[in-house]
């Protein structure tokens, strides 16, 4: 059975001085990322997906984007999740070094 993504109904935000930061639970992150909760737990133990704070059980929107990128590499190109994490790390480093491509245009 194909897994369909639905927006979790319990998404919450925590106010920061300048902007709201989306926070997700592990179950919400797994649903958004298109992985099983057991897979997410494995990725967390391996340090490939990190919580906002240790043992908080909360994840940022950036963690969700990272997991979605990893999953896309796995599904579209057949890269295993550890390899996908390395690729995502390198892409994120390049983006930090060069800035978003929108700014260069």
Looking from the CA of 5 toward its CB, the CA atoms found within 13 Å total 11
Q: What is the pTM of this model?
A: 0.69
Whether the per-residue pLDDT at 92 is higher than 70: the answer is yes
- Under CATH, which number does the domain 19-100 receive? 1.10.1660.10
Tens of pLDDT along 3-51? 444 444 444 344 444 345 789 999 999 999 999 999 999 999 998 998 9
Tens of pLDDT along 46-89? 989 989 888 888 999 989 999 999 999 999 999 998 899 999 99
CB within 8 Å of 85: residues ≥ 6 apart: 43, 48, 70
């Amino acid at each position: 059975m194909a897994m369909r993504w639905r927006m979790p109904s319990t998404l919450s935000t925590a106010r920061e001085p300048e902007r709201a930061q989306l926070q997700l639970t592990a179950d919400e992150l797994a649903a958004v990322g298109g992985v099983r909760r057991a897979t997410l737990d494995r990725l967390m133990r391996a340090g490939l997906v990190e919580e906002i704070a240790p043992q908080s059980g909360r994840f940022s929107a950036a963690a969700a984007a990272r997991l979605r990128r990893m999953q896309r590499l796995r599904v579209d190109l057949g890269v295993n999740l550890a390899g996908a994490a390395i690729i995502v790390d390198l892409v994120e480093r390049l983006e930090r070094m060069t800035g978003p491509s929108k700014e260069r245009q």
